[in-house]
Amino acid sequence: MKNSIPVCPTRRIRICATLSALVIFLFSGSRLLALPPDSDPKTSPLVDALKAELDRSMKAYGAQDPPAYFISYTLTDTQRATVSGSNGALLQSDEGRNRWLEVAVRTGSYDLDNTHKIDGRQPPGGSPGASVPIDNDPDVLRRAIWLQTDMQYRSAAEALIKIKTGKEVNVQTEENATPDFSREKPHTYTGPWVSYNLDRKPWEQKVRDYTSYFRQSAAVINSIVTFTAQAQNQIQVNSEGTQLQFGQIRYRLELFIQGKAADGMDIDRYYNFDWVNPADAPDDKAVLAASLQLRKEMEGLVVSPLNDPTVSPALLTGRAAAVFFHEVFGHRAEGHRQKDVTEGQTFAKKVGEQIFPDFLTVVDDATEKKLGKQDLLGYYQYDDEGVPSQRVVLVDKGILRNFEMSRSPLKDFPHSNGHGRRQIGAIPVSRQGNLIVESTHKLTNAELRAKLVELVKRQGKPYGLLIDDIAGGFTFTGRGQPQAFQVEPLVVYKVFADGRPDELVRGVDIVGTPLAALTKIVATGDTDEVFNGYCGAESGYVPVSAASPAILTSELEVQKKQSSTDRPPILPPPAHDDQNAGGLQ
């Protein structure tokens, strides 16, 4: 994956409220319990081991040439269970626990250190970390820290020497001349060590039964349902004085089915449930309702016509709009992209300028656990650089005000606002958390649809598009590529100007350029919807949420989706072969 191409295969699908014509299964009750946190959280015995080795390392490596001016240690303890089934049978059921140690050493100074980019190139980094025992043995842990710190210092020292040589012979841009690392206040926090108790047997039966229902449809070639439970605890200490201990439990149920149209186009449908409180786990009725909707849409999509490339008015429901903002705006508002000379820097010089219609405000608020009754996957207490999460107003009434900042400062933004994030083993950069779109120009669903038809007629188009559901998307932010985005809808309808019934179509990808696309929004709906998923970019995959009301845009360009040349299977599924002798029925 190139660093300048964030790819976001996020998934969040609409829940259907009807259960008509659905087979109801009887399940045994599942037991899923989060262990109650300590009323008086206790500091892990490993904290003292981390601090002792930190003090020893700073004294030694701070006296080397070049000196280490900053060292941080992060220990992540992960307990994870996975239960997965396919087509009525169990695929996987396991549970495990591991610990991962990460060491960051910075040589030089806050102004110029071993992470400095020359001509947009990142100097070679050190180790991504190491697996350490899950036993609370301070001596064994300190030994692992000792080895990792030495490895990281040597890599950092070598990188700084090369950077200083390169800096003398390369012209530095204004953005690249800013300090490499921001000075932040140290933070101390001790939260409870979190864990869960899980009986996997009921979930094993559930994934069998859920996928059995999909097998009843001839349109479904394959189905997979996966349940995961994860309790993750993290300890962070650094040489500035930060000492953090916090944990978080997450649960997820994923429904996934595959189909294939007659021309070979692959069709996927998804549905995710995300929750943090065991009491909020979806019941069978909710899961089966979602399954009915997925199956119904799959059966319609495999026989639906292809949509032609077009530019027309379009209405995006809240989930689709949320991904639209995540891809078109959110990635380009990540702070590190404003100083990297290889990036397109779409908004770097536009602070204080109007980039959206004045009825739109966009915030990134990772402090929010819920929006209404919906859990937000992008919530966290502290980022991966030890900075507390914050509410950041990115766009205020259409005017760009701020960026999502890590500890890589900009000229007018010298401090982090808690958005330095990464997947375990990667280097933190500025990333989105909970991107939330707010509007003062709200219309009801009926009014939005009427406005869509009005725009279609005014532009002399035969139809507009209703984007009802979406899989994810990706965006190009690097200067060497077109400053473009692509969003991948799952369920799209033609809305005709002459009043004909809506027509389900397939093979649609939304494409465009950000500065043009963001100015075409003319109104929004009055109900926020949440899209939860995992976003992939330079620092790996991180959990994110995007929330938005439906948006109406006066102009949206769509292209044909890439299609496979493989045809559907010659034979129908065995259970749907009426003659049990082969041949298409």
Alpha-carbon distance 115 to 122, whole Å?
7
Greatest CA separation found in the chain? 82
**What do you get for the CA distance between the two ends of the chain, in Å?**
44
Would you tell me how many other CB atoms lie within 10 Å of the CB of residue 52?
13
pLDDT at 74: 98
Residue ranges of alpha helices (H) inside 526-584 are: none
Amino acid at 325: F
pLDDT at 572: 86
Would you tell me how many other CB atoms lie within 10 Å of the CB of residue 171?
7
pLDDT at 38: 57
- DSSP secondary-structure letter at 500? P
pLDDT tens digits in sequence order for the chain, 585 residues long:
333 334 444 333 232 332 233 333 333 344 555 555 555 789 999 999 999 999 999 999 999 999 999 999 999 999 999 999 999 999 999 999 999 999 999 999 999 999 998 766 677 677 899 999 999 999 999 999 999 999 999 999 999 998 888 765 454 555 567 999 999 999 999 999 999 999 999 999 999 999 999 999 999 999 999 999 999 999 999 999 999 999 999 999 999 999 999 999 999 999 999 999 999 999 999 999 999 999 999 999 999 999 999 999 999 999 999 999 999 999 999 999 998 877 778 888 999 999 999 999 999 999 999 999 999 999 999 999 999 999 999 999 999 999 999 999 999 999 999 999 999 999 999 999 999 999 999 999 999 999 999 999 999 999 999 999 887 777 777 776 767 788 888 899 999 999 999 999 999 999 988 888 999 999 999 999 999 999 999 899 999 999 999 999 999 999 988 777 788 888 888 888 875 544 333
Query: How many helices (DSSP H) and strands (DSSP E) are in the chain?
Result: 7, 27
Domain over 10-28+44-301 is classified CATH 3.30.2290.10: yes
φ/ψ bin of 249: left (φ > 0), alpha (ψ from -120 to 50), beta (otherwise)? beta
Please say whether the beta carbons of 496 and 23 come within 8 A: no
pLDDT at 576: 85
| Tokens matching residue 407 | 């500890």
pLDDT at 176: 60
Q: How are the residues of the chain apportioned to helix, strand and coil, as percentages rounded to the nearest 5?
A: 20, 35, 40
pLDDT at 30: 45
Candidates 421, 425, 352; CA nearest to 380 is 421
Beta strands in 20-172 (DSSP E): 32-34, 68-86, 89-107, 130-132
pLDDT at 119: 67
pLDDT at 112: 95
pLDDT at 566: 81
Please say whether the beta carbons of 255 and 287 come within 8 A: yes
Please say whether the beta carbons of 406 and 427 come within 8 A: no
Please say whether the beta carbons of 257 and 214 come within 8 A: yes
To which residue do tokens 């220990």 refer?
Answer: 75
Which helix (H) or strand (E) segment holds residue 524: the answer is strand 521-524
Candidates 300, 308, 318, 316; CA nearest to 462 is 308
Q: What is the DSSP string of 245-286?
A: EEEEEEEEEEEEEEEE-TTS-EEEEEEEEEESSGGGPPPHHH
> 578 burial class (0-12, 13-18, 19+ CB within 10 angstroms)?
exposed
Sketch the domain layout of the chain as residue ranges. 10-28+44-301, 310-560
| Tokens matching residue 452 | 């869509």
Whether a cis peptide bond, with omega within 30° of 0, leads into 66 is yes
| Tokens matching residue 86 | 């396919």
pLDDT at 515: 87
To which residue do tokens 């350029």 refer?
Answer: 513
Beta bridge partners of 314: 465, 553
Q: How far is residue 407 CA from its own chain's centroid?
A: 20
| Tokens matching residue 236 | 């962070």
Beta strands in 158-265 (DSSP E): 188-190, 196-198, 222-238, 243-260
